[in-house]
Amino acid sequence: MTKKIMNLSIIIPSFNTKALLNRCLLSIYESLKDAIVDFEIIVVDNASNDGSIELLKKKYPRVKKILNKENVGYGRANNQGIRKATGEYVLLLNSDIVVENNAIEKLLAFAKPNTFVGGKLLNEDGSAQASCGPMYTLPVVFAMLFLKGDALGISRYSPSEVRRVDWISGACILAQKQTFVDAGLFDEGIFLYMEEIDLFYRAKREVIFCPEAEFIHTGAASSGSRKTPVINIYTGLVYFYRKHRSIMEQNILLFLLRLKARIAIALGNRNTYEQALAAIG
């Protein structure tokens, strides 16, 4: 029996990640060299000035390119790629991803209508990154902020078995193009972090974590210093709650975020959390 040929569009937003982008593209071609997959790659460049565009033009002429004049962020860049995609299925990958052997095929094995699928993300040393989890309800946010919820596997985790979850990391998301479109695509009001949480919450579709599909993820390569994620997680949570939750829940969230920031500042982590406090008002 002949296997069905899958039509796939791979979308990669990039901002000043020339070396990582090159490694990502090489790994995609290597992973799919023997696969029965008809695929295209679309790189959405957010005004890089590190030679990324020259690399694409010289080494990867078949890669489709969307060249932005400014850094438009994760959500808008992916939306641009999704709209341009011609494949039935769309795979969103960060530029700091390395595709391990047959990982994309393993993801595609779980592909079905109205379903989002994500793979297992690994650090460079092979250890697992916690890259899926439950929805960010107030108890989950409390655990994340005050109980080391990430480290304890409460607010995010990396299961060893296939599992339905509430969200998967935006670094690696597979779904039918129509599933993204039906969900309304990413909210472009969120610049970086929480975009995928908002998408899955709105979509009300099945989300599957597939640990057999492994991807190395450098992490935070396009987002700058370590303080940037803290600021964006704070603003992303506030934005999400103002959009989807009650006034009472919004106020409790703000109280928790401010309390966490003040404790962190008192312990000497002043610069990062003062900026986070200022960002949420």
Residue type, 281: G
pTM over 0.75: yes
pLDDT at 1: 38
Q: Does residue 11 share a domain with residue 31? A: yes
CATH number, domain at 116? 3.90.550.10
Pair (192, 232) in one structural domain: no
Q: Please enumerate in sequence order all residues whose Cβ is within 8 A of that of 276, keeping only pairs 6 or more positions apart, or say none.
A: 230, 231, 234, 257, 261
Tell me the CA end-to-end span of the chain in Å, nearest whole number. Answer: 61
The model's pLDDT over 101-120, given as tens digits with 9 standing for 90+, comes to 899 999 999 999 999 999 99
Question: What domain range is 17 assigned to?
Answer: 6-122+159-215
The answer to whether the CB of 245 falls within 8 A of the CB of 141 is: no
On whether residue 51 sits in a domain, the answer given is yes
Q: Are residues 208 and 110 in the same domain?
A: yes
Asked if pLDDT for residue 221 goes beyond 60, the answer is no
How many structural domains is the chain composed of? 2
Please check whether residues 239 and 196 belong to one and the same domain: no
pLDDT in tens, 66-99: 999 999 999 999 999 999 999 999 999 999 999 9
pLDDT score recorded for residue 149: 83
Residue 152: inside a domain:
no
Are 167 and 266 members of one domain? Answer: no
